[in-house]
A and B are shown apart, each in its own frame.
Chain A
């Protein structure tokens, strides 16, 4: 008798006739609107809606920190304390030189924070926007980009901590440091496609968010973020096979003044191409259904 309670939660006008229908057969038999038009309406227009998702993202940040003295700089402060404490303890644990370990940890952890937070929050992208989704037609990508942009702003607040760290531990900027720009861009692209896929799937399957949260948490320990790759000894396969490692390297290595390996660029770029194609295909094929899943 779940049905009764479902009718009450329904998005639209109440029931008149309730009849079981075969899946989405009807909509599959009669595809309305060509794929290219949906692509343009959902994806291209999604990027073009930047005034909307940037305003929404800033409002999210403001709401989180309104009336607090430090505002978003709370993120900076807590990250600073975290890195200081962990840096002192873990550098001993891993028999790592603290002058290497603390810059390594602060660079890696801020990038990881961006990747993991976006991934986690993306599963709520459509549900947090459902009031708008049910009233105004905006491209679905708008809500995904709002999550990505919001977390990018948070990332910019945390990465500030790297500046004093770099000064104290004498990480001198060089030409390799400039690679942080393309590296970060590639990370953003990868995070965006992953967020798009997770946003769509989590709206349909409500078990996805806890699954994602679990995987993200495991990946934090399984990836070389808090531990240096060198602590693995000669067999670095566990790190090399981990795509998260390569993504983090694309930003962390330039921050530490070194050039990321070619393999990291190839994996980061390859994932971006494949991932974006899958995400675009998924969003285009499900764009007509998402509102009914909310």
Chain B
């Protein structure tokens, strides 16, 4: 059983002024004793506001919303990277975030060494890494290239390897931020199939993306975020429809702004 339950979760992200982050300023502020009106406070961004959510086994959730609506923040809250400022987060099951496939890759290490380094950082044990090597070699078709430093790889080769390592896991809760494009067209289909299998292995799958048609294909539910607020959580078709209607309505309300940007 896996589940993700968010109860009244808010996340405020502090922004530090360069001058504010300095020790000297902190000391001065302390010794002068609050002469600066803002001392002891800093600007914060409300990235998520009072979000309530319940996601259960079998839910394939699409995370939709404009840029800066809090999608990445929500994923980071579920993966425990961001502790909530208030509210409670209850996640049952091991979380496997895949925000950046090249995470943990070391340019000067060989392909095989990278499988070990990145695999370990992704939380695999030594024997799991060992067992996965054949699969990765098979999938990447890199052959002897795996024995040379990845520094010498082309972008596409690098991505293949990173993608293969990142998708070798057995996640209970899989989080993906943006769907990744992988190399050439031939490879894309192979990558897409592998991705689908990874998604199928997971109990809960949450993906943030902008491509509605792909999302309809792989998800059954959707979360719509706007300015850090949870607008709607439910069946994907109705959420996407409501979001579309809302954007149409907003456009109708502000025709002059539309022409200004167009």
Taking CB atoms, residues of chain A closer than 8 Å to B218 are: none
**CB-defined contacts of B24 to chain A, threshold 8 Å:** 207
Contact partner, B103, options A56, A62, A131, Cβ 8 Å: A131
- The answer to whether A3 and B17 have CB atoms under 8 Å apart is yes
For B122, list chain A residues within 8 Å (CB): 136
Contact across chains for A20 and B38 when beta carbons are under 8 A apart? yes
Assess whether B73 is interfacial by the CB under 8 Å rule. Answer: yes
Which B residues, 79 to 133, have Cβ-Cβ distances below 8 Å to chain A? Answer: 79-88, 95, 97, 99-100, 103-104, 106, 108-109, 113, 116-117, 120-123, 125-126
Min CB–CB distance B28 → chain A (angstroms) = 12
Indicate if the CB atoms of B108 and A66 lie closer than 8 Å: yes
A132 to B118, CA, bound (A): 11
Contact B106 A16 (CB under 8 A): no
Contact of A26 among B26, B38, B72, B86 (CB under 8 A): B86
When distances are taken between beta carbons in the complex, the residues of chain B under 8 Å from A211 are 23
Which residues on the A side are within 8 Å of B42 (C-beta)? Answer: 20-21, 23
Contact A17 B228 (CB under 8 A): yes
Say yes or no for B47: interface residue by CB 8 A criterion. Answer: yes
What is the minimal beta-carbon distance from A17 to any residue of chain B, in angstroms?
Answer: 5
How many interface residues does chain B have, given as a range?
A: 35 or more
Residues of A with C-beta under 8 A to B171: none
Is there an interface contact between A18 and B45, defined as CB atoms closer than 8 Å? yes
A17 to B228, CA, bound (A): 9
**A132-B22 contact in complex given A18-B43, A20-B38, C-beta closer than 8 Å:** no
**B contact residues around A21 at 8 Å (CB):** 12, 41-44
Known: A12-B82, A137-B80. A19 touches B44 (CB 8 A): yes
Docked-complex contact A23 and B71, CB < 8 angstroms: no
A11-B13, A59-B109 are known contacts. Are A2 and B18 too (CB-CB below 8 A)?
Answer: yes
Task: Report the bound CA distance from A39 to B31 in whole Å.
Answer: 33
In angstroms, Cα B73 to Cα A11, docked, is 10
> For the complex, is B68 an interface residue (Cβ under 8 Å from A)?
yes
**Complex-state Cα separation, A57 to B139, whole angstroms:** 29
Q: Is B16 an interface residue (CB 8 A)?
A: yes
- Is B216 an interface residue, CB under 8 A from the partner? no
A135 near B227 (CB under 8 angstroms)?
Answer: no
Nearest chain A CB to B18's CB is how many angstroms away?
6
Partner of B68, one of A14, A26, A138: A14
- A17 and B117 contact, CB distance less than 8 A: no
List A residues 147-169 near B (Cβ within 8 Å). Answer: none
Q: Scoring A residues 95 to 136 as 1 if CB is less than 8 Å from chain B, else 0, what string do you get?
A: 000000000000000000000000000000000000111111
Chain B residues near A134 (CB-CB < 8 A):
76, 81
B247 within 8 Å of A (CB atoms):
no
**Which of A184-192, A257-265, A286-294 participates in binding chain B?**
A286-294
Q: For the complex, is A15 an interface residue (Cβ under 8 Å from B)?
A: yes
List, in ascending order, chain B residues with CB within 8 A of A2's CB: 17-19
Whether B180 sits at the interface, judged by CB under 8 Å, is no
Contact A52 B120 (CB under 8 A): yes
CA of A2 to CA of B109 in the docked complex: distance in angstroms? Answer: 39
A63: CB under 8 A from chain B?
yes
Q: Is A233's beta carbon under 8 Å from chain B?
A: no
Cβ–Cβ contact A62 & B121, under 8 A:
no
| CB neighbours of B88 from chain A (8 A) | 32
Compute how far the CA of A137 lies from the CA of B83 in the bound complex, rounded to whole angstroms.
Answer: 10
In angstroms, how far is the closest chain B Cβ from the Cβ of A159?
Answer: 26
The 8 Å CB contact of B81, one of A7, A33, A135, is: A135
Q: Given the complex, which residues of B lie within 8 Å of A14, measured CB to CB?
A: 67-68
Residue pairs across A and B with Cβ atoms less than 8 A apart, 19 shown, are: A7-B15, A13-B71, A15-B45, A17-B45, A17-B228, A21-B42, A21-B43, A23-B40, A23-B42, A55-B121, A56-B117, A66-B149, A131-B100, A132-B104, A133-B81, A134-B81, A135-B79, A206-B21, A293-B21
Instruction: Report B's interface with A, CB cutoff 8 A.
Output: 12-19, 21-24, 26, 38, 40-47, 67-73, 76, 79-88, 95, 97, 99-100, 103-104, 106, 108-109, 113, 116-117, 120-123, 125-126, 149, 227-228
Show the binding face of A for B, using Cβ within 8 Å.
2-3, 6-7, 10-24, 26-27, 30, 32-33, 51-52, 55-56, 59, 62-63, 66-67, 131-138, 204-208, 211, 287-288, 291-293
Closest 8 CB pairs of A and B: A137-B80, A14-B68, A205-B23, A288-B83, A16-B227, A207-B23, A66-B108, A55-B120
Known pairs A62-B109, A134-B76, A135-B99. 19 more at Cβ < 8 A? Answer: A2-B18, A3-B15, A10-B45, A11-B13, A12-B72, A19-B44, A20-B44, A22-B41, A32-B88, A52-B120, A56-B117, A62-B106, A134-B81, A135-B79, A137-B80, A137-B95, A206-B18, A211-B23, A291-B82
